[in-house]
Amino acid sequence: MTLLRQNMTITELEKTLNEEVEANWGRILEDNHEEFETLFPEYEDATYGIYAEKLLGPIWRQVEDSGFYSAAEVKADDFVIAGFLLFRQSLEKEQWGTPANEKRVFWLTIKNSQHKEIGTLLMEMSHSHVRFSIPAPPKFFALQTTNGREIRSQIRSIYDK
C-alpha cells in the first residue's frame, strides 16, 4: 500500500485509498467473478458487500494499523461491511443511475491516532440491480465536515444533479 502516515489529511487519505482500490478492484472482481455470479441470484445486493469485504477489508486494516479509525459507534444491530462501512450510514437513490448502474454512497467520519476528527470519507459503490456487475471501481471522496446533517446535504448536492 502507498505509505500511510499518521499525520495525513483527509484528502491525502482519500488519494491513498483510491490508489489502492484502483490497483486491486479489477483483480478481486476477476478472481472471484464465478463466486459472485453464483451468489447474486440468491443474495442480490449482499453480494456487493462480499466483494467490498474482499477488496476493502485488507486495505482498511492497513488504515487502522496507521492510526486512523471510524468515529461511528457500531450498534448491536448494525450491518458492517469490510470492517468499517455501516449500512445505516449510506444512501442510494434511483435517480443516481440506472438499474444497471446504481450508486450507493457510504460515509464515515475519520479520527486519527490523536482521536481528532479529520474529516469524512464518502465511498461510492457502483453496482447493478439487474445482474451482478460492478461497472466502475469503488471511489472515495473527502469532505472537510464531520457534521451528519452537512454530510448528507453534501452527498445530495453531489448526486442530485
Condensed to tens digits (0 to 9), the pLDDT of residues 18-36 reads 999 999 999 999 999 999 9
**Within-domain flag for 3:** no
Q: Which residue, chain included where needed, has cell 502516515? A: 5
Q: Which cell is 33 given?
A: 467473478
Q: Is 151:145 a contact under the CB 8 Å cutoff?
A: yes
**Which residue type sits at 149?**
R
Given a cut of 60, is residue 1 above it in pLDDT? no
User: In 3-state terms, what secondary structure has residue 71?
Assistant: coil
Domain count, the chain: 1
Per DSSP, the residues of 12-80 read HHHHHHHHHHHHHHHHHHHHTHHHHHHHHHHHTTHHHHHHHHHHHHHHHHHHHHTT-EE-PPPPTT--E
Q: In this structure, is residue 94 part of a structural domain?
A: yes
| Of 85, 86, 104, nearest in space to 94 by CA | 104
Q: Is residue 14 included in any domain, yes or no?
A: yes
pLDDT digits (tens, 9 = 90+) for 64-90: 999 999 999 999 999 999 999 999 999
Report if residue 1 sits inside a domain.
Answer: no
Range of the domain at 111: 10-159
Structure confidence at residue 66 (pLDDT): 93
Distance set, CA 134 to CA 39, 42, 115, 138 (Å): 14, 17, 34, 9
Q: Residue 2 — pLDDT band, cuts 50, 70, 90?
A: low
**Is the residue at 51 inside a domain?**
yes
Q: Is 52 left (phi over 0), alpha (psi -120 to 50) or beta?
A: alpha
| 5: in domain | no
Mind listing the pLDDT tens digit for each residue in 102-154?
899 999 999 999 999 999 999 999 999 889 999 999 999 999 999 999 999 99
The residue written with cell numbers 440468491 in the block is: 42
- Residue 56 domain-assigned? yes
Helices 46-65 & 33-43, crossing angle to 10 degrees? 120
Provide the pLDDT for residue 4.
78
The confidence score (pLDDT) of residue 6 equals 77
The C-alpha cell of 109 is what? 467520519
Residue 84, domain member (yes or no)? yes
- pLDDT tens for 29-57 read 999 999 999 999 999 999 999 999 999 99
